[in-house]
Amino acid sequence: MGLRDKIRDFFLDKSGIRAILESQNLQNRMAQESLAAITFSNAVQNSEWLKYKSFYPGRWAVEYTFLLTLFRIFEHHKFTNLLEFGLGQTSRMVHQYAAFHNVPAITVEHDTEWIEFTRKDTRNAYPINVKVLPLEMVDYNGYKTRTYQGVKTAFENQKFDFILVDGPFGSEHYSRSQITQLAKGNLAETFCIIIDDCNRIGEQETVAEVEKELKSRGIKYAINKYYGLSDYVVICSEDLKFLASL
């Protein structure tokens, strides 16, 4: 077989084409992440409320693209009651924001050792309010999914205008489904929800469930998927629709 025939067969091979496209997509995402890192560093340089600017994105943590979007959202709107699922890099921003504006914020986490490590790592420079809830497996639409135990009881009668979902560990289907419970009655009239890892099927299914709940309640909203090394979705009330177009 000649070289021309080999080249032809390669490009006719769907797996070869798929590998090329996936490689190009990864390169584009990495380039975007590098640009976001530079932009984030410049953006937070003169921030009054983000005094402690040490972040360590990557691996299991969120990337610079996510941190940049989160920072811009906080810069554009003042939230009054914040809830976060999963203690991590975003917590460093969420709790500094809340402390500066003197508003409540709480992070749900199951790992007490990780909580202690994070507080030591930040040298208690700012308060990190954590609610410890154990993990449990529940049935959701016929699938087993991992969630935090007792979310509904823990936050009964509370209204949140900002919710960030980056925990617990992902599940194959309806991942991090606790947000669907909160969408039933714990959202303030003006709200913003951010759900990380929406490149995965489980999180995509959960986003669809949140949309279904909002529609059933007649709540008008805006939604947008942002792309980094992983994808994340912003869902916000119609009056904050600009947050879905940053």
pLDDT digits (tens, 9 = 90+) for 153-189: 999 999 999 999 999 999 999 999 999 999 999 999 9
What type of residue is 227? Y
The CATH fold of domain 48-245: Rossmann fold (3.40.50)
Please compute the mean of the pLDDT values over residues 102-130 and round it to a whole number. 95
Q: Mean pLDDT across the chain, nearest whole number?
A: 91
* 240 against 34, higher pLDDT: 240
The reported pTM is 0.89
Give Cα 36 to chain centroid, integer Å: 16
Strands (E) located in the chain: 82-85, 105-109, 130-132, 135-140, 143-148, 160-165, 187-195, 221-227, 231-237
- The reported pLDDT for the residue numbered 60 is 64
Q: How far apart are CA 74 and CA 119, in angstroms?
A: 22
CB atoms within 10 A of CB 232: 26
What single-letter amino acid sits at 105? Answer: A
